[in-house]
Structure 1
Amino acid sequence: MAGHAPRGCELECSWQQTYRALIEAAYAEPTLRRLYPFTSHWALRFSTTTRPNLTVVGLCLTAGSDGTYGVGRGFVTPDLGLFAMADEAVAAAVYRLPSSLGPVTLGG
């Protein structure tokens, strides 16, 4: 992912370890590392452009307080599944990404 891990993993919460595992699993995936990561409402999302004008692609990844990881098409709705492992959720998200994603560009 362009830059470093989103700052959300540094905040204290009951699912901090689960959330951090999700961010680390996403960072380990080369396809996602080519995108611009951002967080909002404890969800991990990706863009092909930087702020301020994000071009959101792919899916929304979430980490639950129960230790599960969600993948959804909508904002914070795991309608594509819940997973026991962060890398399983990341793999499910990458599988559904468009194949023609280019490098990150400025969102100015």
Structure 2
Amino acid sequence: MNAASKKQAGRGHSRLIGLQAVIACTAMGWLLLAPPAQGQMTLVPLTASAALTLPATVLHGDIRLIGTGPLPGSLLVEGRRADFSGYLLHHATLVLATPPGGCGAESQA
């Protein structure tokens, strides 16, 4: 193995380590944002239409509205994810975990 091929192999290892770091950070981010089966969650509308219909959707179901979320149009709710997540995903709304004692503590509904 000559010096040029050793240098190229070193770059390949660096790229592999970088890719692994990106995958690990993405996985950790997803675990932090994954909503619980029951408890507080943040509903984030992805379209203007979803933002308009989200409050009525929340009030219609077995979901307790806690307050407004940190993102425009988002809401903090409490309930069971299984009761509404399928509907919300089909209507361009993300269901995310809410940090404990976090968002919306000062904006009670």
- Higher RCO, 1 or 2 (CA under 8 Å, sep at least 6)? 2
- Please indicate the TM-score interval, normalised by the length of the shorter structure: under 0.3
TM-score by length of 1: 0.27
TM-score by length of 2: 0.27
Give the helix-richer structure, 1 or 2: 2
Which structure would you say has the larger Rg? 2
